[in-house]
Amino acid sequence: MQEGATDAQTETVIDRLVEMGFTVHRSTGVRHTVLGGVGPQDDFDPAALEVMDGVKECHRIVSPYKLASRSFRPGGTVIKIGGVEIGGPKIVSMAGPCSVEDTRQIELAADIVASAGAQVIRGGAFKPRSSPYSFQGLGESGLEILRVAANRRGLLVISEVMDQTQIPLLVQYSDILQVGARNMQNFNLLRELGKLRKPVLLKRGIAATIEELLLSAEYVMSGGNYEVMLCERGIRTFETSTRNTMDIAAMPVLHRLTHLPVIADPSHGTGRREYVVPMALASVAAGADGLLVEVHHDPDRALSDGAQTLRPDQFTGMMQQVRLVAAAVGRTA
């Protein structure tokens, strides 16, 4: 309560808290009265209390998400897919082109990815492009191409699901379902993914706070699907020298707030090939459990995101450096 708040104002706030289901603990100081509300209610709006007469400020001490919260599983979550563990001591690398273009391109990409020691091949078959006139992806045939190339080399597949109607196809062909930045708050899609028992990689929205990302993860988890990994892929800021601003601090912040594995995507995080490797290394140093990186046999001719896509030699070099940084922070890659 504000300094000088009247007893009547304090009583009104207490009555309101009790009405909302809280047990109220009152501490009357020389200057300030502090009211502590304890109760099951966690979807209240602190601002609604802050505007009451005599109130100075109102803070929520418990997080608005529960299942995604670190306290739900203090030891952390390890997602096991085949022989790959995401969230364990070994850093998992997922790589491939932005979009699936044709069979040859994916076969070449799968060779690069597998021989450099990555575990998962990526590639969008359904592409969320900013322009409706840009290449929109190959759809099911793209997924089939990925699956065949992955199976031949013992890789896993990650690919993006853009809406509910695509879920059955993605479940059939992909090991991990990627939710893109533009869909982070597509709550209908998140609820449907909650009904699956299949890993989901949830990307941070371009203007989403970490709390909003965790609330989106909570949507999936509240349906019973606990196999969620979070992905930092850069956020939009006033800076224009990179496509997005890669939030490296998201790695330690997320590890403090949640038990879910955290993946870094320095490709979308920077938008330029030359910045991808340093930011991948920084992400690993900052605690990322995995990397999601774009690589193409001929990135200058890629149908999407060529500027941020690594050449094969750059990717192989990155993987070698990732192993060194991983070792420096007590992990393997």
Chain contacts with Mn ion (rule: CB under 5 A):
98, 305
> Nearer to Mn ion by C-beta: 98 or 260?
98
Question: Minimal distance in Å, beta carbon 103 to ligand PEP?
Answer: 19
Phi and psi at 97, nearest 5°, equal -70, 165
Judged by CB under 6 A, which stretch of 59-67, 76-84, 101-109, 174-182 contacts ligand PEP?
Answer: 174-182
Judged by CB under 6 A, which stretch of 15-23, 105-113, 178-186, 212-220 contacts ligand PEP?
Answer: 178-186
> Nearer to ligand PEP by C-beta: 128 or 278?
128
Question: Helices 103-115 & 312-328, crossing angle to 10 degrees?
Answer: 30
Phi and psi at 235, nearest 5°, equal -125, 165
Helices (H) then strands (E): counts for the chain: 11, 12
Length of the chain: 333
Beta bridge partner(s), residue 295: 310
Alpha-carbon separation of residue 66 from 17, 188, 216, 222 (angstroms): 22, 20, 12, 9
Tell me the residue nearest to ligand PEP as measured from the CB: 180
Phi and psi at 74, nearest 5°, equal -55, -30
Question: Minimal distance in Å, beta carbon 233 to ligand PEP?
Answer: 4
Counting contacts by CB under 6 A, is residue 181 touching ligand PEP?
A: yes
3-class SS of residue 316? helix
Question: Minimal distance in Å, beta carbon 192 to ligand PEP?
Answer: 18
Counting contacts by CB under 6 A, is residue 266 touching ligand PEP?
A: no
Counting contacts by CB under 6 A, is residue 273 touching ligand PEP?
A: no
Place of tokens 């992905």: 231
> Nearer to Mn ion by C-beta: 100 or 110?
100
CA-based torsion, 276, 278, 283, 284: positive or negative: positive
Place of tokens 């379902």: 177
> Nearer to ligand PEP by C-beta: 14 or 282?
282
CB 310 within 8 A of CB 321: no
Q: Which does 128 bind (CB under 5 to 8 A by kind): Mn ion, ligand PEP, none?
A: ligand PEP
Question: Minimal distance in Å, beta carbon 162 to Mn ion?
Answer: 13
Beta bridge partner(s), residue 200: 177, 228
Judged by CB under 6 A, which stretch of 14-22, 109-117, 142-150, 177-185 contacts ligand PEP?
Answer: 177-185
Q: Please, which of residues 113-142 interact with ligand PEP by CB under 6 A?
A: 124, 128
Question: Minimal distance in Å, beta carbon 197 to ligand PEP?
Answer: 23
Contacts with 21 (C-beta within 8 Å, 6 or more apart), sequence order: 39, 40, 41
Question: Minimal distance in Å, beta carbon 94 to Mn ion?
Answer: 12
Counting contacts by CB under 6 A, is residue 98 touching ligand PEP?
A: yes
Judged by CB under 6 A, which stretch of 78-86, 175-183, 190-198, 216-224 contacts ligand PEP?
Answer: 175-183
User: Encoding tokens for residue 182?
Assistant: 């533009």
Q: Please, which of residues 208-247 interact with ligand PEP by CB under 6 A?
A: 233
> Nearer to Mn ion by C-beta: 229 or 326?
229
> Nearer to ligand PEP by C-beta: 203 or 331?
203
Neighbours of 52 (CB within 10 A): 14
Distance CA 242, CA 250 (A): 18
* Maximal C-alpha separation, the chain: 76
Distance CA 120, CA 291 (A): 10
Counting contacts by CB under 6 A, is residue 203 touching ligand PEP?
A: yes
Question: Minimal distance in Å, beta carbon 18 to Mn ion?
Answer: 52
Residues that bind ligand PEP (CB under 6 A): 98, 124, 128, 180-182, 203, 233, 268
